[in-house]
Amino acid sequence: MRDVAVIGVGMTKWGELWEKSLRSIFVESALLAIQDAGVEKIDSMVVGCMSSGLFIGQEHLASLLSDSLARNPVPATRVESACSSGGLALRQGFIEVASGLSDVVLVGGVEKMTDVTGSEATYALGTAADQEYEGYHGLTFPGLYAMMAVAHMNRYGTTRDQLSMVAVKNHDNGSKNPLAQFPSRISVEAVNNSVQVADPLRILDCSPITDGAAAVILCPADMAAKMKKPVIRITGTGHASDTIALSSRKDITWLESTALAARKALAMAGRKIEDIHLFEVHDCFTIAEIMITEALGLAERGRGGRAVEEGLTSIKGKHPVNPSGGLKAKGHPVGATGVAQAVEVVKQLRGEAGDRQIKGARCGLTQNMGGTGGSALVHVFERE
Amino acid sequence: MRDVAVIGVGMTKWGELWEKSLRSIFVESALLAIQDAGVEKIDSMVVGCMSSGLFIGQEHLASLLSDSLARNPVPATRVESACSSGGLALRQGFIEVASGLSDVVLVGGVEKMTDVTGSEATYALGTAADQEYEGYHGLTFPGLYAMMAVAHMNRYGTTRDQLSMVAVKNHDNGSKNPLAQFPSRISVEAVNNSVQVADPLRILDCSPITDGAAAVILCPADMAAKMKKPVIRITGTGHASDTIALSSRKDITWLESTALAARKALAMAGRKIEDIHLFEVHDCFTIAEIMITEALGLAERGRGGRAVEEGLTSIKGKHPVNPSGGLKAKGHPVGATGVAQAVEVVKQLRGEAGDRQIKGARCGLTQNMGGTGGSALVHVFERE
C-alpha cells in the first residue's frame, strides 16, 4: 500500500443554515479544500452522509455532489455509517489512494439537518439505533446515552459535575473556533441546571442539530512531499463494528468498537497512545467523551470522569481532547463530523489553529463513532 | 494492486417477501456466499443499499448487518449510489482487497422495498433523481425514462415493438432462472397492450418493486488459486458519474457514464468489447437496455432497438445480454441488483447456470447504473 497524505482541508461556519441547501454547503467546503491543496484535478470523490434520504429527500448523493462541484464524470462514492459516515469516508478515500487506483481523492462529509421538524430529526437520527429492537419501542439517542450514563455513574461513581465539565471544556475550546456553531463559554452550573432531556442528561450534555460540511484532499505521500505545505500523513486507520442494540452488549459502560479501532490504527502507525499530542473525539453526549477517554486508554476504565475533572483532557492538559470544541460546541452535522475532525487535526499539525493551537503538536488522532458505538473509526495523523 | 477473485456467491429467491425482514434476507444470501466460498473468517464487509432509511426506517446498515450475521467486530461499510449501490459495493470491496488492507471481503447488496405503500416507494425511488430540479416538480422514474424513450424513438426510429422485445427476451431468459421474481414468458402483444405508465412506457416495460439480496466473497487471486472452485478474477472496474438531472445532459438518448465506465473497465482488463461472452446490464426500463447496448458498443448509436430485434442480444445471439432475466424478470431490489449481476456472471463463468448456461463463457461484464445514468459501474470478470 502507498503512504497517504492530506494536502488540503476546507470547512465553513456551521449552524442552522436555512438559507443554504445541502449541495451549496458541500460545495463551499469542497472548494476551500481544493484551493487549500492547490490542485486542479481530482480523480475521485468519497462523501460521507448519514441520511440525506430522511433529512432532505435525496439519495444518489455523491453523483449529485460531483455534478454540483462541476467534477463529473469523476467516480463519486457515498458511504454511510450513521454518525461515523465522515470517518468512514476518510477511510475509503485512504484505501483508494493507498491501493494505487486514484491519486487525488476529495473526501467530504455533509449533513443538512434543520430542514425538517424536531420530531422528524429525532426519527432520522433514531435510524442509527436498531429500529426493530430499540427505536420502534420508543428509545431515542438521549435515552440510550442516558442509560449508559446511569450505568457508568452507578458502577464507577462518575458525577453529574464531571459530565458538565466535559461540556464546559469543549465550549471553552469552541469559543476559540470561529467556525463553531456555539462558540460560547458555559459553566458547570449552567449545564447542571439546563433543561432535562433524559435523566441524567440535560440539554447542555447533548451535541446540537447542525447543518454543515467539511472536506479534505488526499494524495500519495510522495506527491505531497513536492508541495509547499507541511506534509501531514495518515499513518493509521482502524474500523470496527459492534452490536447496534445496547441490549446485546456485554457492557454498556464500555465502547469496544472504539477500543478495537484505536488499537488497529495505532498498531498500523507504530504508535502508542502516549505518542499522540491531541485527540478529536465523538462527544455526541458528555458521557460519550468520558467513555471514549477510557476506550482510547487515556484514562483507566471507570476513570474518564476524573480525567476531565483533573484537567487531563483540557487544551493545556497532558492529553488535549477536542481542541476544536468537539461535537458539543462546534456542532454535529452527523455525516460531516468525522471529516471535520480530520480538518482540525490537520490545522493543529500545520500550526494553523489560531487561539486554540496546541504548541508543537506533531501527531493527532481522530475517533468517530456511529449510534451508541455500533461502529467506530480511528485515524492517526502525523506531521513529517 | 493485488489481483482480486470472486470465491463465493449467494442469492435466494427474490419477490415480495412480506414475511421476511431486510436483515433476514441479507443474512440468507450472505451465508450462502460464505458457504459457497468455504471460508471461515471474513476480514471486512461492504454493503450496497440505496435507501433503507426511507424503505424501512433504518440507517447504520452495515454494522446492523455485521451484527445480524454474527460477524462483529469486522469493519462494515455501507455504500450508496441509488440503483448502482450494489455495483459500487463490489468496486469498494475490490479496492479493499486490491490495496492489501483486507484479504477476505464479503460484498452484499440488499433492498427491502415492499414494506411501504406504492406512493412511498415511488417517493423513495425518486430520491435517485435530482429532487430539487426533477422530483419536486412531479417527475418520477417512469416519466424520466419515458422522455428518454420518446427522444430515442424520434431521433433513431426505435419502435414500440423493439421496446417490447427487450422485455420478451429477458422474460424468456428469466423463465430459466428459479430465483427470478417473475420467471414467466411474455409476448410482444402482452407488453404492447399492458397498462400505460408514462407514454410510451407500459407496465411491462418497467422492472418491478422487489425484496431481495445477493452476496459475493472476494479475496486475492493467489489465495483463490489454492481453492477447489474455478478461479473467477475481476480484471477490470470502471466507475463514472454524470449529471443527475436529465435537463443538464448534452444528449438524453446517450448514457455517457456507462460508456466511460465501460471504457475504463475494459482498458484495465486489457479487453475489447468483442472479447466478452455475456453481459448483465441495468434494464430498469426496456429503453435503458437499448441505450446500454449502444453505450457499451454492442450496437452503433441509435441501433440498440434493431440489435434486440435482430437477436444480437438474445441468449443464443452474438452478444447475450441479461441471461439471468435482467432487472425486468429477475426483479430489481435496487441496492442488490449490482451484486446479483456479479452472482450471475460468476455462475455463468463457472458453468453453473443451468438451463440458461452460455456454453464456454469465460469472460463476462456487468453494467449497473443509478437514476437515469447519473452513476454507472462496470466490471469485467474472467475465468482463468
pLDDT computed for residue A340 by the predictor: 98
Cα separation, A264 vs A199, whole angstroms: 35
Q: Does residue A228 have a pLDDT over 90?
A: no
Burial B128-162 (b: 16+ CB within 10 A, else e): bbbbbbbbeeebbbbbbbbbbbbbbbeebebebeb
The model carries a pTM of 0.98
Contact residues, B window 21-60, toward A, CB-based 8 Å cutoff = 21, 50-54, 56-60
Picking from B94, B364, B372, B86, the residue whose alpha carbon sits closest to that of residue B257 is B372
Cα separation, A241 vs B96, whole angstroms: 17
- Grid cell at residue B295: 453505450
Q: Does residue B228 have a pLDDT over 90?
A: no
The verdict on B73 touching A (C-beta cutoff 8 Å) is: yes
Q: Where are the domains of chain A?
A: 4-117+210-224, 128-208+237-383
Average pLDDT rounded to a whole number, residues A283-304: 98
Q: Could A59 and B77 be called an inter-chain contact, meaning their C-beta atoms sit closer than 8 Å?
A: no
- Catalytic residue check, A363: no
CA angle A37, A40, A46 (to 5 degrees): 70
Average pLDDT rounded to a whole number, residues A117-141: 95
Per-residue pLDDT tens digits for B112-141:
999 999 999 999 999 999 999 999 999 999
Per-residue pLDDT tens digits for A64-78:
999 999 999 999 999
Q: Does residue A374 have a pLDDT over 90?
A: yes
Q: Does residue B186 have a pLDDT over 90?
A: yes
CATH number of A4-117+210-224: 3.40.47.10
Per-residue pLDDT tens digits for B171-184:
999 999 999 999 99
The verdict on B127 touching A (C-beta cutoff 8 Å) is: yes
Q: Could B58 and A257 be called an inter-chain contact, meaning their C-beta atoms sit closer than 8 Å?
A: no
Q: Residue B21, Cβ neighbours under 10 Å: how many?
A: 17
* Burial group, residue B248, by CB count within 10 angstroms (0-12, 13-18, 19+): middle
Considering only CB atoms, A73 lies closest to which of B63, B241, B371, namely: B241
The architecture (CATH level 2) of A128-208+237-383 comes to: 3-Layer(aba) Sandwich (3.40)
Contact residues, A window 167-186, toward B, CB-based 8 Å cutoff = none
CB A181 within 8 A of CB A337: no
- Catalytic residue check, A379: no
pLDDT computed for residue A26 by the predictor: 98
Catalytic residues of B: 83, 332
Does A200 sit behind a cis peptide bond, omega within 30 degrees of 0 on the bond before it?
A: yes
Which residue in A83, A206, A219, A363 is the catalytic one? A83
Which pLDDT band, with edges at 50, 70 and 90, does A117 fall under? very high
Q: Could A59 and B80 be called an inter-chain contact, meaning their C-beta atoms sit closer than 8 Å?
A: yes
In DSSP terms, which residues pair with A211 in a beta bridge? A15
Task: Please give the mean pLDDT across all residues of chain A.
Answer: 97
Contact residues, B window 78-117, toward A, CB-based 8 Å cutoff = 78-82, 88, 91-92, 95-96, 98-101
- Grid cell at residue B212: 431481495
Per-residue pLDDT tens digits for A79-113:
999 999 999 999 999 999 999 999 999 999 999 99
Q: Does residue A268 have a pLDDT over 90?
A: yes
Cα separation, B78 vs A48, whole angstroms: 10
Per-residue pLDDT tens digits for B236-279:
999 999 999 999 999 999 999 999 999 999 999 999 999 999 99
Q: Does residue A154 have a pLDDT over 90?
A: yes
